[in-house]
Amino acid sequence: MKERSNLPSRSVVWLATAALLLFSYFIAALLLLHVLRPDYTIADHMISDYAIGAFDPIMTSAFLSISLGCLALATGLLRIGPKSWLGRASAGLLIVAFAGLIVTAVFPTDLETAASTRTGDIHNISFLVNIVSIMLSSICLSLSYTFDPQWKRHRVAALALAGVLLLAFVAQYLTLHRGAPYGITNRLFVAVLMVWLLSNSLWLKAAASIRLAQPE
């Protein structure tokens, strides 16, 4: 009976571990692409541009990796995360991001110097869906931690990360035009996002591990 009662927590440990590995692969692949494509200057190339050219499979796999990571994190949160509507909404928004990032991977962007295509337009729409859904998810999740006794110890860090992510989002939005350093703000947003995703995955794994260690 104890083995059966531990199954949900054990599955969440696996989900959180999978999310951590998937997010780590995304980071490693993105860092590698910066080495492989030095011709893509960071000021005027967003990370999506790495999906154009000889090394496009690496960027595509990175997008698929972060997408699956969001799904794993969302599934774990739905199982043992905050039970409030804010917690559920946050997990739901991560699932939206999962679907959006699949679209991002399948439909590569257009380079700024290239003609606009329908594929590129779809990519841009998915980018906006992803960035908004993740931004809203961070706010909902941090607030759900605040009002949940079991997760309350993470509220300060979660709110701080959500605040920094919001600032990075604003910086990205304000530089989405020709001549602005949108590549730099894009990387800044992605860097903060990865810290947020990794932190929540670690908190989820810790919560599941604590439940496993508790006597019946």
Q: What would the pLDDT profile of 187-212 be if each residue is shown by its tens digit?
A: 999 999 999 999 999 999 999 998 88
Contact of 2 with 32, CB cutoff 8 Å: no
Give the C-alpha distances (Å, rounded to integers) separating 41 from 59, 102, 179: 16, 26, 13
Of 191, 197, 209, 187, which is closest to residue 158 (Cα–Cα)? 197
Q: What would the pLDDT profile of 38-73 be if each residue is shown by its tens digit?
A: 999 999 899 999 999 889 999 999 999 999 999 999
| Burial zone of 85 (CB within 10 Å; 0-12 exposed, 13-18 middle, 19+ buried) | exposed
Q: What would the pLDDT profile of 135-147 be if each residue is shown by its tens digit?
A: 999 999 999 999 8
What per-residue string of b and e applies to 97-131 under the rule 16 or more CB within 10 Å gives b? bbbbbbbbbebbbbeeeeeeeeebebbbebbebbb
pTM of this structure: 0.92
